Amino acid sequence: MTRGAVLRLGRNEYPATARLVMAIVNRTPDSFYDKGISWAEDAALDRVRMVVDQGADLVDIGGIKAAPGAEIDAEEEKRRVVGFVERVRAEHPDLVISVDTWRSEVARAVCAVGADLINDAWGGADPELPSVAAEFGASLVCTHTGGVTPRTRPHRIEYDDVVQDVRSSLLRQAERAVSMGVERERVVIDPAHDFGKNTWHSLEVTRRLDELTTLGWPVLVSLSNKDFVGESLDLPVGERLTGTLAATALCAWHGAQVYRVHEVVETRQVLDLVSVVAGELPPARTVRGLA
């Protein structure tokens, strides 16, 4: 088993053996998975309360779905997330809050009201994001997308070696973020399953994830109900939980540290079992053959 690195999020520091659950909170009416169940602000706040009670280590708030759809400008994105982040911070002062955005002006606005982490899911499409993270002492997720335009699907994208491309891109982004003032322990790398990749690419990244977790940066994976799971098992979005959890266990064994998910309880159980098998966490109880 390979492990990552020490990670700092907000006021918290996590060892390389930590496996953190990042719960998804969509402030969108058209999410591919939850279909807008947390679009209303009060519903989204209820979602935050629920996942915190379920044991989520952090929440990831997003105001735009990743897939193609209605154009959402920066002002509308800010209307969806800035005031909401402020409410979440007021109610949960110790919760680590992430915001999923590729726009530096949105990042600056949410950091100003309490966000701890900027989840740049589009691989540096806005080159000023690291400077915003540095300005506020926030953490930053760097992702590999193969250079695709935000909110577009990959079309016949090819790599000589997808894992090598992921490695070189993420190393370049991570070192650039540090050079712009982001603390090294606050930089996270994400191979971004499905983003700029077909199913074969995402499977290869999963199979060889240890080639990323040995780079010395904490690794985040966003596997939840992704198309590579659905295509592998020929299942629609609402039936991909078991496959998602299988991929989660594989990535956990390879050393990923943060898991962006819809289902908190099930993910936590998988991660805890991997930690127990690895000898990094004791069993909750041991009475079989001993009592």
Q: What is the pLDDT of residues 199-239, one digit of tens each?
A: 999 999 999 999 999 999 999 999 999 999 999 999 999 99
In a domain, 283, yes or no: no
User: What sign results for the dihedral spanned by CA atoms 209, 213, 154, 67?
Assistant: positive
Phi, psi dihedral angles at 61 (to 5 degrees): -100, 130
**Residue 2 domain flag:** no
Average pLDDT over residues 184-198: 97
The answer to whether 211 and 167 are in contact (CB under 8 A) is yes
C-alpha to C-alpha distance for 232 and 269, rounded to whole angstroms: 23
Does residue 289 belong to any structural domain of this protein?
A: no
Q: Provide the residue range defining the domain that includes 192.
A: 7-277
CATH number at residue 135: 3.20.20.20
Q: Which residue has the tokens 């998988």?
A: 270
Rounded CA separation 154/115 (Å): 30
For range 170-196, the mean pLDDT: 98
- Answer whether residue 273 is part of any domain: yes
Determine the Cα–Cα distance for residues 9 and 35; give it in Å rounded to an integer.
29
Q: Are 154 and 199 in contact (CB under 8 A)?
A: no
In a domain, residue 250? The reply is yes
Query: What are the residue numbers of the active site?
Result: 226, 260
Residue with token string 């994001």: 129
Number of structural domains (the chain) is 1
Contact call for residues 162 and 197 (beta carbons, < 8 A):
yes
Question: For residue 284, is it within any domain?
Answer: no
> For residues 204 and 40, which has the higher predicted lDDT (pLDDT)?
204
Q: Tell me, yes or no, whether 286 lies in a domain.
A: no
Q: What pTM does this model have? A: 0.95
Distances (CA, A) of 194 to 89, 197, 204, 214, 255: 31, 5, 11, 22, 20
Residue that has been written with the tokens 């994976």 in this structure = 221
Contacts 24+ apart (CB under 8 A), 233-238: 237/32, 237/33
pLDDT digits (tens, 9 = 90+) for 84-107: 999 999 999 999 999 999 999 999
Residue 19 lies in a domain: yes
